[in-house]
Amino acid sequence: MTLPDVQKIVLDIIADIAPDEDLSSVKPEVRFRDQLTLDSMDFLDIVMELRKQHGVEVPEGDYGHLASLQSSGEYLLPLFVAKGL
């Protein structure tokens, strides 16, 4: 599992949650909320899908780490690696 792999997983989840969003131009370092029309329920859906699809738990206090594609990847990569994914 690499950083780009994790970022693709996050983008795939967002694509499922918000199918009308154009994810082709997402800038990794820019907050999702500054680029996409995602609300707080969408972010909860992302967290739930990470748990459901990959068994990765994100505590509520860590939700801020999922603000951008870059920060999501950096936060989630060790969790995926620890699960042997």
- The answer to whether 75 touches 65, Cβ cutoff 8 Å, is yes
Domain spans of the chain, in order of start: 3-82
Global confidence as pTM: 0.92
Identify the CATH class of 3-82: mainly alpha
29-71 pLDDT per residue, tens: 999 999 999 888 999 999 999 999 999 999 999 999 999 999 9
Three-class SS state of 31: strand
Helix (H) or strand (E) holding 85: none
CA–CA distance, 64 with 83 (Å, rounded to integer):
22
pLDDT tens-digit readout, 10-36: 999 999 999 999 999 999 999 999 999
Say which amino acid occupies 24: S
Q: Report the alpha-carbon distance of residue 43 to residue 32 in Å, rounded.
A: 10
